[in-house]
């Protein structure tokens, strides 16, 4: 099966698959080595280019990146490189032994252990720095562990990175929320040469409606952390139109009472939803219902009150308009709001780190912030993006931190 995939690859001289991958994975080179049975070498290239290759091969939006730009995809199915990547990189993680590393007497603090924090910890450890990884929760992973559901990303794959970090000598400091007892300034007093902020965006956006504090109304990213802690009842309404709404609905459908329903309510036409088509198809297969063109206006004890939305297709795109005369109630025992997330600014408290108007860390493309020695990358700088984009950004910043530490 995998051999058939690599045989179809044309190994293009100008590979569009690579140039549309945020970390520029050298796909033709990996394919060639794979065909020559040099799997270990191929896997080493993948890991060196992207330490989270094992994760990205599972959760990347391939249809937007490599697969979406494969030349064969114009007339037939694109080459599914990610399946080969999954095979190679899982094997590599299972057998990983770090190289001999000469340690420098330089300590760096990494705050947050999501994709950006894990990537930074691996890269800087491999360069000989002492890394302390500080994490608010008890386990590493960020959204990989406390957001993306198990059926899309097995947690034992995330756990493999605990072993890798341990083998690399990264010191993990769990249950450590930076910005309350410990501040950034104190870290420099304690001798860290640089601090890397990678705290993501875990604060749910509010809808701003009456009823948001009620006991049966939850935020999606909170719910996804520990779904087993919630009693959803029989009928659940998810408000939202993006990938997180799909994830939360697909988890909820596994936790509702017998003969219950999960309904995604949103104000858009199906074609305008930001969720990936593949996810929508999977959700439909699992029995999740969709109600489009309804705008939630109040969250009641027995359901979501909505007004109808009219959609008109114009030359400039779809124009939506609420029709306040047409009101409808969608009954619900539980309501989950999935309307995006933003930064939780505590990490920057009492520091010179500037924020953007959205409350994100104001860092440049190389991760430099307004505060000397403080760097940042991942969602806390870009706003919510993808795992591979967090890795790509972090790689650039790792080189800058190395340069900064050796020059200062
Ligand atoms: C439900 C959901 C599903 C997603 N699905 C996909 C997908 O399929 N594919 C994809 O590519 N992307 C997906 N994404 C987006 C992707 O997960 C993020 O872009 C990525 O995780 C960002 O990485 P990060 O390291 O910047 O932040 P995060 O993953 O958010 O990690 C931040 C870490 O910092 C910790 N932290 C926060 N504040 C502090 C503090 N003050 N002190 C110490 N630690 C702190 C947090 O506990 C967390 O562990 C999804 C996002 C969500 C919410």
DSSP string, 125-183: HHTT-EEEEE-SSSSS-THHHHTS-TTTS-HHHHHHHHHHHHHTTPEEE-S--BTTTB-
Compute CA distances 140 → 118, 190, 251, 358, whole Å: 8, 23, 21, 26
pLDDT at 25: 97
Is 90 exceeded by the pLDDT of residue 316?
no
Best mutation site among 51, 62, 123, 200 for ligand 1, i.e. most ligand atoms within 8 A of its Cβ? 200
Is 90 exceeded by the pLDDT of residue 141?
yes
What is the whole-number distance in angstroms between the Cα of residue 404 and the centre of ligand 1?
26
What is the whole-number distance in angstroms between the Cα of residue 286 and the centre of ligand 1?
26
Q: Which atom of ligand 1 is nearest to the CA of 244?
A: 1
What is the whole-number distance in angstroms between the Cα of residue 91 and the centre of ligand 1?
25
What is the whole-number distance in angstroms between the Cα of residue 78 and the centre of ligand 1?
29
| DSSP-derived secondary structure for 272-322 | G-SS-HHHHHHHHHTT-EEE-SEEEEEEETTEEEEEEEEEEEETTEEEEEE
| DSSP-derived secondary structure for 60-93 | S-TTTSTGGG-GGGGTSPPP-HHHHHHHHHHHHH
Q: Which atom of ligand 1 is nearest to the CA of 117?
A: 25
pLDDT at 186: 92
pLDDT at 5: 93
CB count, 10 Å around CB of 13? 6
Q: Which atom of ligand 1 is nearest to the CA of 247?
A: 1
What is the whole-number distance in angstroms between the Cα of residue 356 and the centre of ligand 1?
19
Question: 107-201+343-407 falls under which CATH superfamily?
Answer: FAD/NAD(P)-binding domain (3.50.50.60)
What is the whole-number distance in angstroms between the Cα of residue 198 and the centre of ligand 1?
9
Mean pLDDT of 125-134: 98
Mean pLDDT of 315-342: 94
Is 90 exceeded by the pLDDT of residue 276?
no
CATH 3.50.50.60 domain range(s) in the chain? 107-201+343-407, 204-337
pLDDT at 287: 96
Q: Indicate the average pLDDT of the chain.
A: 95
Phi-psi region of 251 (alpha: psi -120 to 50; beta: other; left: phi over 0): alpha
Q: What is the DSSP letter of 361?
A: B
Angle among Cα 345, 351, 357 to the nearest 5 degrees reads 45
Ligand 1: which residue has its CA nearest to atom 17? Answer: 143
pTM over 0.75: yes
351: part of which helix (H) or strand (E)? none
pLDDT at 337: 98
pLDDT at 127: 97
What residues are in contact with ligand 1 under a 6 Å CB criterion? 59-60, 111-117, 134-137, 142-143, 147-148, 176-179, 198-200, 202, 221, 224, 243-244, 247, 344, 346-347, 378-380, 384-388, 390
pLDDT in tens, 158-208: 999 999 999 999 999 999 999 988 989 999 999 999 999 999 999 999 999
CATH 1.10.1060.10 domain range(s) in the chain? 2-95
Best mutation site among 109, 112, 158, 275 for ligand 1, i.e. most ligand atoms within 8 A of its Cβ? 112
Whether domain 2-95 has CATH 1.10.1060.10: yes
Fold of 204-337: FAD/NAD(P)-binding domain (3.50.50)
pLDDT at 395: 98
Is 90 exceeded by the pLDDT of residue 237?
yes
Q: Which atom of ligand 1 is nearest to the CA of 378?
A: 26
Is 90 exceeded by the pLDDT of residue 278?
no
Q: Which atom of ligand 1 is nearest to the CA of 224?
A: 1
What is the whole-number distance in angstroms between the Cα of residue 339 and the centre of ligand 1?
16
What is the whole-number distance in angstroms between the Cα of residue 64 and the centre of ligand 1?
20
Mean pLDDT of 87-99: 95
pLDDT in tens, 332-370: 999 999 999 999 988 988 788 999 999 999 999 999 999
266: part of which helix (H) or strand (E)? none
Angle among Cα 16, 18, 21 to the nearest 5 degrees reads 110
Ligand 1: which residue has its CA nearest to atom 22? Answer: 379
Angle among Cα 380, 386, 390 to the nearest 5 degrees reads 55
Is 90 exceeded by the pLDDT of residue 232?
yes
- Cβ atoms 18, 28 nearer than 8 A: yes
pLDDT at 330: 97
Ligand 1: which residue has its CA nearest to atom 26? Answer: 378
Cα distance between residue 186 and residue 29, in whole Å: 46
pLDDT at 345: 84
Q: Which of 172, 74, 212 is nearest to 159 (CA)?
A: 172
For the sheet with 171-173, list strands across it.
Answer: 171-173, 130-134, 107-111, 194-197, 374-376
Q: Which atom of ligand 1 is nearest to the CA of 153?
A: 8
Structure tokens belonging to residue 71 = 């030349």
């Amino acid at each position: 099966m995998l051999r058939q995939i690599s045989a179809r690859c044309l190994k293009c001289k100008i590979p569009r698959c690579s140039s549309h991958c945020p970390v520029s994975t050298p796909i033709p080179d990996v394919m060639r080595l794979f065909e020559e049975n040099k799997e270990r070498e191929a896997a080493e290239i993948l890991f060196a280019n992207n330490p989270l290759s094992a994760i990205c091969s599972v959760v990347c939006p391939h249809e937007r990146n490599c697969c979406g730009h494969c030349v064969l995809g114009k007339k037939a199915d694109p080459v599914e490189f990610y399946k080969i990547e999954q095979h190679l990189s899982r094997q590599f993680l299972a057998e990983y032994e770090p190289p001999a590393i000469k340690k420098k007497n330089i300590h760096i603090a990494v705050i947050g252990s999501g994709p950006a924090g894990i990537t930074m910890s691996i890269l800087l450890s491999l360069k000989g720095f002492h890394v302390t990884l500080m994490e608010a929760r008890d386990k590493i992973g960020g959204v990989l562990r406390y957001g993306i559901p198990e059926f899309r990303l097995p947690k034992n794959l995330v756990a493999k990175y605990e072993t890798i970090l341990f083998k690399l000598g990264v010191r993990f400091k769990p249950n450590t929320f930076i910005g309350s007892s410990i501040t950034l300034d104190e870290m420099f007093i304690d001798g860290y040469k640089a601090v890397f902020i990678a705290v993501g965006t875990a604060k749910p956006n509010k809808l701003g409606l009456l009823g948001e504090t009620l006991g049966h109304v939850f935020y999606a990213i909170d719910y996804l952390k520990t779904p087993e802690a919630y009693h959803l009842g029989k009928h659940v309404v998810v408000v939202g139109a993006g990938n997180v709404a799909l994830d939360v609905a697909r988890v909820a459908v596994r936790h509702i009472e017998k003969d219950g329903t999960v309904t995604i309510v949103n104000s858009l036409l199906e074609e305008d939803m930001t969720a990936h088509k593949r996810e929508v198809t999977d959700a439909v297969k699992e029995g999740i219902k969709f109600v489009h063109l309804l705008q939630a206006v109040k969250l009641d004890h027995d359901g979501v009150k909505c007004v109808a939305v009219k959609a008109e297709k114009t030359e400039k795109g779809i124009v939506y308009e609420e029709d306040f005369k047409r009101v409808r109630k969608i009954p619900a025992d539980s309501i989950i709001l999935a309307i995006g997330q933003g930064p939780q600014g505590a990490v920057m408290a009492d520091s010179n780190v500037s924020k953007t108007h959205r409350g994100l860390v104001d860092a440049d493309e190389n991760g430099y912030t307004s505060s000397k020695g403080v760097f940042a990358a991942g969602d806390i700088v870009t706003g919510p993006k993808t795992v591979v984009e967090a890795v790509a950004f972090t790689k650039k910043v790792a080189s800058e931190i190395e340069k900064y530490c050796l020059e200062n």
